[in-house]
Amino acid sequence: MKYGLNLLLWTTEVTPEHAPLLADIKRWGYDGAELPLFSGDEATGKRLGRMCDDAGLQRTGVTVCTPEVNPISDDPAARRAAVDHFRSILDCCAAAGIETLCGPLHSPLGQFTGKPRTDVEWGRAVEAIAAAGEHAADVGVTIAVEAINRFECYFLNSQMEVADFAAAVDRPAVGCMYDTFHANIEEKDPAAAIRHAAPHLRHVHISENDRSTPGEGQVRWDETFGALKEIGYDGWLVIEAFGLALPELAAATMIWRRMFSSEEALATNGLEFMKRRTA
């Protein structure tokens, strides 16, 4: 198992000023850092790769869609822009030495039609992610598509659905991820969802029901870790938590109060929790 920490706890863009933070993440005992990649190119990737190498960290990446780069849009230009965006981010990942790019690549966050997804939208997303998956294979990166709860998107909400989506895309470099925060909202049976996702599972986010320190809330951890052990999962476990460090990100993630004593306490306590549960 490999243990990572998502840098969205501190920033939406990793810059040279975050070098001491990367060193801290290594000192706390993590194997890798998960880097937010909302834009980027090969030059950006090389810089990020050097920073992580200097800290002795492996890395994964996370990205999102916006209305301008929307795989399910009615506008063909937005759909083409989405594929171009994914290719650029994947090139950045390859240059950075990022092995897995995760996130809700299927649709923009917070954009709703007031209706469930349509078959047309499903087909558009499959086509776009398949194209991205072919480029991912060319550059040696794996895509792990994320389901997001009903309050943040309407396209893929359950872990069952995202596994079926990965199967429909049917590209070797495309799989799905499991996020315990979203599963806590959407899944009646987390273990069944993990077992269903097993053939396509490429990444796991460890996130508490209140987005703070894993192990201190209401997520069904016994079932979650039991199912991951049952299917033989041995990839990344990455803590994704959010705080008040960035007002804009705090607002986007609906964090209105401080829920942990310090980022270091969250990181170290969360890592100890993951290692204890996977021992």
| The CATH classification of domain 2-278, taken from the options 3.40.1210.10, 3.40.50.1110, 3.20.20.150, 3.30.110.60 | 3.20.20.150
Kindly list the domain boundaries of the chain, sorted by start residue.
2-278
> What is the pLDDT at residue 253?
81
* φ/ψ of residue 31, rounded to 5: -85, -30
How far apart are alpha carbons 204 and 206 in whole angstroms?
6
**DSSP secondary structure string for all residues of 133-197:** HHHHHHHT-EEEE----TTT-SS--SHHHHHHHHHHH--TTEEEEEEHHHHHHH-S-HHHHHHHH
Q: Is the dihedral of CA 179, 181, 187, 190 positive or negative?
A: positive
Mean pLDDT, the chain, integer: 96
Q: Which of 155, 92, 94, 160 is nearest to 129 (CA)?
A: 155
What are 84-128's pLDDT values in tens digits? 999 999 999 999 999 999 999 999 999 999 999 999 999 999 999
Residues 131-186 pLDDT 10s: 999 999 999 999 999 999 999 999 999 999 999 999 999 999 999 999 999 999 99
Contact 146, 166 (CB under 8 A): no
Length of the chain, in residues: 279
Note the pTM of the prediction, 2 decimals. Answer: 0.96
Collapsed DSSP state (helix, strand, coil) of residue 116: coil
Q: Looking at residue 150, what is its pLDDT?
A: 96
Structure token digits, residue 124: 């558009």
pLDDT in tens, 45-69: 999 999 999 999 999 999 999 999 9
pLDDT of residue 246: 73
CB 93, CB 63: distance < 8 Å: no
pLDDT of residue 156: 98
Per-residue pLDDT at 245: 77
